[in-house]
């Protein structure tokens, strides 16, 4: 059995749990952590790999980029979703090393795109707060961009809205620096974080990615009651390009089109794809390779 001690914030009482589920959960987490340690030490690092999900530009009617999404095939549990292993990596500071691996893989993919003649297509990489706040984050990223001979304008970084809740000034300073180099910044999961409108105005991002929650709402009967269109116009007023994520149905797509959303991403366009599949998808979408 596992013993877990929780402190009740209000009265300082310690509560002890003895719970089989919790024990299983901890051993699962522990096993995943051990595998992540191995991977970051370079042991069978192929267990961590990337997939790329196409992003469609609605005005141009073509794929303008991809989001890089990390995948883990665990020895013990098979495929483990990033919503599970990324937080484990963050908790154990493993995300810094694994994040570097992820960045390199994404830049290698970008180099392949460039070699095929796609000089306008971007790849955006999800970055955790722990990574971004390291003093050497920017210089490492720039070194890697040079190493793989990438045009910084094709590199995007996705930061979840919630990371602006703390370290707001520091993060905005880093963003300004990266943007001055041409790197694009997206605020991810918009609408689920804690940033106030007043602050939102000052976040120096290129893109605002509306969280899937607001896209799901478009399937409800009273579409006109949703605030999704308000989020799109607010994003535009604040000078951001607006992306909808998790688009699965035609009805959602037509709403987004009618309400001026700029870019869409979701299973309706394509699921996340392996390197080669992603390039094939791009060639099929835009064979002239001037995209």
Footprint of Mg ion (CB under 5 A): 126, 158, 188-189
246 binds, among ligand C2E, Mg ion, none (CB under 5 to 8 A by kind): ligand C2E
> What string of H, E and C letters represents the secondary structure of 164-197?
HCCCHHHHHHHHHHHHHCCCEEEEEEECCCCCCH
Query: Could you tell me the smallest distance in angstroms from the CB atom of residue 53 to ligand C2E?
Result: 6
Q: Which residue is nearest to Mg ion (CB)?
A: 158
Query: Could you tell me the smallest distance in angstroms from the CB atom of residue 274 to ligand C2E?
Result: 13
Residues 60, 76, 82, 139: which binds ligand C2E (CB under 6 A)? 82
* 147-166 binders of ligand C2E (CB under 6 A): 158
Query: Could you tell me the smallest distance in angstroms from the CB atom of residue 8 to ligand C2E?
Result: 30
* 95-134 binders of ligand C2E (CB under 6 A): 102, 126-128
* 19-78 binders of ligand C2E (CB under 6 A): 53, 69-70
Does position 283 bind ligand C2E by CB under 6 A?
A: no
Residues 35, 161, 200, 245: which binds ligand C2E (CB under 6 A)? 245
């Amino acid at each position: 059995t596992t013993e877990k001690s929780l402190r009740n914030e209000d009265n300082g009482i310690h509560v002890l749990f003895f719970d089989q589920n919790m024990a299983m959960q901890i051993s699962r987490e522990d096993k995943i952590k051990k595998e992540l340690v191995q991977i970051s030490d370079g042991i069978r690092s192929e267990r961590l790999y990337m997939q790329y999900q196409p992003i469609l530009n609605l005005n141009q009617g073509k794929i303008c980029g991809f989001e890089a999404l990390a995948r883990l095939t665990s020895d013990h549990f098979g495929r483990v979703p990033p919503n599970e292993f990324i937080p484990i990596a963050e908790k154990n500071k493993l995300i810094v090393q694994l994040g570097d691996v992820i960045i390199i893989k994404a830049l290698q993919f970008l180099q392949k795109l460039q070699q095929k003649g796609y000089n306008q297509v971007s790849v955006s990489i999800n970055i955790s707060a722990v990574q971004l706040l390291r003093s050497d984050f920017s210089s490492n990223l720039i070194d890697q961009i040079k190493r793989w001979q990438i045009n910084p304008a094709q590199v995007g970084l996705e930061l979840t809205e919630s990371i602006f809740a703390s370290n707001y000034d520091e993060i905005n300073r880093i963003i300004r620096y990266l943007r001055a180099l041409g790197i694009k910044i997206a605020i991810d999961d918009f609408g689920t974080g804690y940033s106030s409108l007043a602050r939102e105005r000052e976040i120096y991002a290129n893109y605002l990615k509306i969280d899937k929650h607001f896209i799901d709402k478009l399937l409800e009967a009273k579409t006109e009651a949703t605030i999704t269109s308000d989020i799109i116009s607010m994003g535009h007023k604040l000078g951001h390009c607006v992306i909808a994520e998790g688009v699965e149905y035609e009805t959602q797509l037509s709403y987004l089109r009618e309400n001026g959303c700029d870019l869409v991403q979701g299973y309706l366009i394509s699921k996340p794809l392996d390197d080669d599949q992603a390039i094939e998808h791009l060639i099929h979408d835009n064979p002239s390779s001037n995209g």
